[in-house]
Structure 1
Amino acid sequence: MTSADPAALPAAPPRSRGAWKHWLLFVGLLLPNLVLLTIFTYRPLVDNIRLSFFDWNISSPTSTFIGGDNYVEWATSPDSWTIVRNTVIFTIAVVGGCMVLGLLLALLLDQRLRGRNLVRSAIFAPFVLSGAAVGIAFQFVFDPNFGMIRDLLGRIGVHTPDFYQRPGWALFMVTLTYIWKNVGYSFVIYLAALQGARQDLYEAAAIDHASTWTTFWRVTMPQLRATTFFLSITVMLNSLQVFDIINVMTRGGPQNIGTTTMIYQVYVETFQNQRAGYGATVATVMFVVLLLITVVQVRIMDREGSR
């Protein structure tokens, strides 16, 4: 068996003019996005990580390099782990509440019901409202003296919890407010996914006399897997960035850090305590944790999709 003569092999066809046009179009469309991402996302991210190794008062023109002291202080501070606990509880409650309620509402309003379009609009409307405006409105809802919750509980003889003095109830109040505002997002995404589901699978399930529960788990949920994965990431990222509702309703209290989350701690340390380096440290820790969680979620989704 002899090897082929390289000179005898046919030459590769020259790149056509049409292929170059497609390549230039690709570069022309991609380059502006890469430039914007570099300026407004990647560069600030790198600068934030660099700043976390400095002690810098934002009112001072100079900063002092202190190595990993900010990270050591964060890891050894009891307040840090209380704030992490608040963040985890808030995030899990928001992700679970928004996704479960959004799915249930989507399943209900995917049916042929009278006035469903009006109800759909009413559910989605709070999502486009200002978080600060929603926070101010719900301050009156949860007011222990004359709020709506006090009135409703008083009618059945139940004492109104002190939402503004007890950290547990304050965190519950903020979480419920955020879920009310943002459940419309999950609802709309799930509703769109349900309307695009394969109807032949439901017809096959009906022919097999599958129960409603079986149809939901065996037909509906597998088709919503990609949507659920997408929502689990986006809702989690959005919940970790909540600032306006917490700032308006509790300002991170009661008892100083009763409802403080990590993103709110970044604001407090940077702009109130004027410790921009320490605030950058908290932001960097958040970034690393979110990156790891997202990587795990993507790997799980890829594994599920390859089955």
Structure 2
Amino acid sequence: MSTASQVATELTQPGTRGPSAELHLPEVPNPGEVAPKDAREISRIFFVRLAELEEGTRDHQYVRNTLIELNLALVKYAAGRFRNRAEQMEDIVQVGTIGLIKAIDRFELSREVEFATFAVPYIVGEIKRFFRDTSWAVHVPRRLQELRIDLAKATDDLSQRLDRSPTTAELAEHLGIDQQEVIEGVVASNGYTAGSIDMPMEDSSDHTATPLSDRLGAPDADLEIAENVQALKPLIEELDDRDRRILRMRFGEELTQSQIGAELGVSQMHVSRLLTRITTRLREGLLVAE
């Protein structure tokens, strides 16, 4: 007997008490240990009951909390995609649980989709938002990440005490570290956020604000074409005379396939197959060269 069937029958057993019995729901002593397949079946029953209960009541809270515990496996599954991140897995799971709670509060059985399908995007989205808001724009050693926090606290403390911004020497003395470490920490702090190249920058000469992107050079549009032409030359030389003639007529003289077929005494379909074979060979040669 599956767990879902087992817990469902407990409603009919004499002496059953507790919130589940009062709400006419299956008794789930350890929701986190329920198998995923059974959790889906039980969750559907609890969602039906949740929709009938008034939000904020003790019964509503019980059903909602049970749904959270039943579906924590979804959070752990989604969090596993981010196991290579520097953050602790426990922190990622906690953030993902927030996404799970949002999904439970917004899910409706009338959507006619599985709750897992509905919830995973919420969970993953919450985790990605966490990384976006807390992750560094560039990778720096953890020692410098922690030093940035210490420097921020020390700067606030000394600024209030001195009524001015502290010097490097004062920060070093306050934290008990070398001035060089303070400088490293300040430089590393610049990597916490990255500025947009579309951010307006004021030009001191005429006090006009133009985006940084307008001042950056752009790749030459013809450069890639020139590189491809040079890379194609030795590949074309490896072709036989007929293949080179077909390429010249099609791309140099810009003849149609029918005109090329008439010139060679073959059908238009045969010319099409020849062109496909030739261009595929050249394309593969370019990819190998790259």
TM-score, normalisation: structure 1: 0.22
Larger radius of gyration: 2
Structure number with higher relative contact order (C-alpha < 8 Å, ≥ 6 residues apart): 1
TM-score, normalisation: structure 2: 0.23
